[in-house]
Structure 1
Amino acid sequence: MRTAQRGRPLLPAVIGGVVLLLIAVLLVIADNTVRTVVRDAIASELGTALPIERGSDVAVEIGGFSMLAQLAAGRLERIEVTADAVDFGQVSGAAEAVATGVPLDRSQPADSLTIDFYLPEGELVNLADNLSGIPLDTISIDGDEILLETEVRVFGIPIPVSIGIAPGAADGQLTFDPNSLSVSQATVTAEQLRGVLGPVAGAVLQTRSFCIAEFLPEAFTLKSADIRRNELVVRLAADRVILSDEALQQVGACPA
């Protein structure tokens, strides 16, 4: 009997522990449910606000430990969005976006937003007119360059020419700068190419561009363009940007 009496005080502690455990489980379930609802709402809204192709898979992840705590604070710590088909003019590719410090009050700015746009090698043909001033036979990616291959006729003689193009970013435009040259598989300088091709060399050597500002909200800045993993990757960024429908619909303009 004494042993049973000594064990009775443990019962309230056990019950209290179970109650706390149930509360913790319910909070986790509630947090996950709210996170799912918010995530789905963001994915739906992005599908209409940004140039995402119909039927494209859009995935949203919300960072931070507690969704409920973030909602109570009125600000989401980090939102990551991926879409497998986003249009920018005549080209299409996958995109990854990261937004930090996103307020629930959409009249207030988010801390930052970056978007990486991945253009696969097969889409480069849609930029042919922006890559070179001459007709091209093939367009591919070779190392950190876009490789253009064609034939140029000089006095009726076909001469194979390969041009390595370095992508870049300047004044809101993608730039394509001839970086390496070869004629008949022999490496040449710009001056040597002018000597071989004459006036045609100007169209080969000219830095060309493609303006994407008119396809983007004006708050975005084109930060960089380079080759990664056999894709042309374009990075866009905006600081203290308002993510309202009105702000996202105000697109930029290309130079006249």
Structure 2
Amino acid sequence: MSTPSAVPPRRRTGRVWGTLAAIVVALAALLVVADVVVRGIAEDRFGEQVRASLPDGIDGEVDVEIGGFSVIAQYLSGTMDRVELTAPELSVNGTPVAVDVIGEGVPVDLASPVRSVVGTVTVDEESLNRLVSVPGVTGAFTLGDGLVGYAGTIEVLGFSLDYTATARPTAAGESVLLLPEGVELTSGAGMVDVSVVVGRLLGDDPLSICVAQYLPEGVEVHDLAISPGTATVELRAQGLMFDEASLARAGSCD
């Protein structure tokens, strides 16, 4: 009677490595599935936290997307690499605006400052005029191709003269500067030298609009894009906290 030959060592080694590889692949697949599940849970949790932190008068759905390779690893570290908040129909005191915010270095519990924040706010003419009021400007702002139109009043030689102006807006941190490019008197033109008035309006300091009062403290205007009927504002901040008290504390123009 013959005895079965033993399995060669090389074949046994191959089987061991094959088994280990299968285990590793299975574990990797489980980790991927677990990460997908945790990512969804974390995004829902962040969304709930942010919605609960919105100041009074601000309401709307906020969608959350967490970036980075492994949410589990980020969560264990206590900081998310990249979190994007999208609110295309946010209501600010009843006025609709579209908001998109990207935070980098976002603490899991939102109890610590976010390393850096870049946000964009998009408004139409109607929303802009409902949200922003400027002393000395009468009527409504109009939004054109890179320009803003507005009406105002100027005092010259004891006369109050009404005018309309087109201006190019420039971001200035806590403020937005309107640099006049064209001016037309709409009343009182026969009382004074029109060229003197126009020269004064075009040559004076730009009209400064304080926007810090509408934003959380520490948030500044970095860029502006104006197109017919729409304004898009890019905002930036470092060390901003996403808790309710911080978001409700508005800045000021010193």
TM-score (norm 1): 0.70
Equivalent in 72, 75, 81 of residue 79 of structure 2 = 75
Any residues of structure 2 matched to 1:8-19 within 5 Å, and which?
9=12, 10-19=14-23
Q: Which of 31, 47, 52 matches 2:35?
A: 31
Distance 1:87 1:218 in 2: 20
Partner secondary structure for residue 218 of structure 1: coil
Q: 2:65 maps to what in 1?
A: 61
The answer on 1:93 being equivalent to 2:91 is no
Q: Residue 40 in 1 paired to residue 44 in 2?
A: yes
SS at match of 1:130: coil
Give, in whole Å, the separation in 2 of the partners of 1:197 and 1:87: 44
Equivalence for 2:160: none
2:170 to 168, 171, 187: 168
Pair 1:121–1:245, CA change in 2 (3 A) = closer
Kindly tell me: are residues 75 and 42 of structure 1, through their superposed partners in 2, closer, same or farther at Cα, counting changes over 3 Å?
A: same
- 2:76 match: secondary structure: helix
The alpha-carbon distance between structure 1 residues 3 and 115, as it changes in their structure 2 partners (threshold 3 A), is farther
Aligned-residue CA RMSD (Å): 4.1
- Cα distance, 1:169–1:129 mapped onto 2, change above 3 Å: same
Residues 110-149 of structure 1 mapped to structure 2, 5 A cutoff: 110-126=114-130, 130=134, 133-135=137-139, 140-148=142-150
Greater Rg, structure 1 or structure 2?
2
Task: Give the conservation status (yes or no) of the 8 Å contact 1:89–1:212.
Answer: no
Alignment gaps of 5+ in structure 2: 153-162, 187-191
Amino acid at match of 1:43: G
- Normalised by the length of structure 2, the TM-score is 0.70
Is this contact kept in 1: 2:165–2:181, CA < 8 A? Answer: yes
The answer for the alignment partner of 2:156 in structure 1 is: none
Distance 1:49 1:200, change over 3 A: farther
Structure 1 position 57, deviation (Å): 3.8
With over 3 angstroms needed to count, the CA separation of the structure-2 counterparts of 1:166 and 1:134, relative to structure 1, is: same
Query: Can you list the C-alpha shifts for 1:94-146, whole angstroms capped at 9, x where unaligned?
Result: 1111111122354433211122111224434436853973446xx54332112
Corresponding position: 1:240 with 2:239: yes
Aligned residue for 2:137, secondary structure, equals coil
Distance 1:90 1:178, change over 3 A: farther
User: Share of identical aligned residues, percent?
Assistant: 25
Q: Which residue among 177, 193, 196 is the counterpart of 1:195?
A: 193
The alpha-carbon distance between structure 1 residues 174 and 4, as it changes in their structure 2 partners (threshold 3 A), is: farther
Which of structure 1's runs of 4+ aligned residues deviate more than 6 A?
Answer: 197-206
Counterparts of 1:245 and 1:140 in 2: how far apart (Å)?
33
Q: Secondary structure at the match of 2:34?
A: helix
In 2, are the aligned partners of 1:74 and 1:104 still within 8 Å (CA)?
A: yes
